Chains A and B, each alone.
With several copies, the nearest count.
Chain A
Amino acid sequence: MLEAINLAAVRGDRRLFAGVGFSLQGGDLLYVQGANGSGKTTLLRMLCGLVIPEEGKILWSQEDIRSEREAYLQSLVYLGHLCALKDDLTGLENLRITEALAGEEISEPRAMAALQGVGLNGYEDLPVRVLSQGQRRRVALARLALTQAPLWILDEPFTALDKASVGSLKTRLEDHLEDGGMVILTTHQEIEIKAAVIKQVALAEY
């Protein structure tokens, strides 16, 4: 489904990586590995179409993602280093608005259920500003329970989560993979996720 061919990235004067390629089918898990600053975030943002590759191209069902942008984005969820939450809105509002912008109108009870699914019962109506670091992350992660998109691109999703949440996120990822979804992941923690096919891309210090 997703195919990356000979990707290269340049930042400032530095060439971060080159010749990166892989292909991903339903049920596949891809680990992007590398030290800090090796370009993992850059690669993931490239796969989302946010960064334009210096070389190479990215195909989704055989089509270049830049020509079939809207269809591609429909099947994609990206969670980056930042939580992408509005401090002044409550968790509930944040979740519903994010989903609406991603093209899915979520009813309030469903959004509530998703927040409770990440263990935020009782915090749904607090402005995100007052939540703890891990709670903020969990609001962002609640999207994963609502989305229909097959391709999840997650940049260090386990950051700031406590053990219970790490466990439940892990299960969610495994369920998604079992259902034929795809996951692209970076993480510096050792967390073992079961999947039919596990692939790796290692970004070396260039």
Chain B
Amino acid sequence: MLAVLRCVMMRDLILAVRRLSDVLTTLFFFVIVVSLFPLGVGPEIEVLRMIAPGVVWVAAILASMLALGRLFENDYRDGTLEQLLLSPQPLSLLVLGKVMAHWAVTGVPLVLVAPLLGMQFGMSAQGIGVLLISLILGTPAISLIGAVGAALTLGVRGGGVLVSLLVLPLYIPVLIFGAGAVEASVSGLGAEAHLSLLGAILVLALCFAPWAAAAALRISLD
């Protein structure tokens, strides 16, 4: 059971390393989108500090969404997805493995880079801490929710936009609570309420998304 989870993850991680470009593109993108702001806004640290949580979170969501297209598409084209569906393991487990690998190569770099960007925006250490926690809770949820959208639109005409259309509304709560947590902590209110809601979303997503994505894959490959 766990062996197969590990196997899928390893596979996708090796593939990501062989195509490092894709990983870096996401990260690159995130950094550039975020870095543009201070350039534009000018160095008034007060303003920067105010907009920081929103900017980082929006950039993170955009960057993860960009990477979604690759989650199942390549496997679909070369037939390996079909074989994955024929594995005697529960498909939702395999999907979970793929999503975890996807998160490891797109979400984790964002999380790691975020503190640097936070500093650039003059955020306090505490604010950065909360930003980090909110991203750690939020980015896997984004990947999980995105997986459902990606699976549903596999091989469909106009897949790219459709994914955004299907998935963005579901991202809104994550964005609201994620950016909300940082803002609350920066403005002195506690971030706990927001963070626990974010945690709840993650748990919900962990329970339902792999299952829904698996069902969607079965439909898409019919």
Contact = CB atoms under 8 A, between A and B. Distances in A.
Interface of A: 48-52, 69-71, 73-74, 76, 78, 80-89, 93, 97-98, 100-103, 105, 129
Count chain B CB atoms within 10 A of each CB in A48, A51, A70, A84 and give the residue with the most: A84
Contacts of B189: none
Given A73-B88, A101-B4, A101-B87, 5 more contacts: A81-B79, A86-B78, A100-B3, A101-B83, A103-B87
B196 interface: no
Contact of B18 (A51, A78, A82, A88): A88
B79 A103 contact: no
A135 to B, nearest CB: 16
B21 to A, nearest CB: 11
B215 to A, nearest CB: 12
A80 B8 contact: no
B85 interface: yes
Contacts, number: 79
A48 B3 contact: no
Contact of B78 (A49, A73, A76, A83): A83
Given A101-B7, A101-B84, A84 B78 contact: yes
A98 B89 CA distance: 13
B222 interface: yes
B87 A82 contact: no
Contacts of B87: 73, 101-103
Count chain B CB atoms within 10 A of each CB in A83, A87, A101 and give the residue with the most: A101
B14 A70 contact: no
A82 B94 contact: no
A66 to B, nearest CB: 10
Contact of A80 (B7, B10, B79): B79
A52 B82 contact: no
Contacts of B14: 89, 93
Nearest to A72: B88
Given A52-B222, A88-B18, A101 B89 contact: yes
Contacts of A76: 86
B112 interface: no
A85 B80 contact: yes
B173 interface: no
Given A88-B18, A100-B4, A78 B86 contact: yes
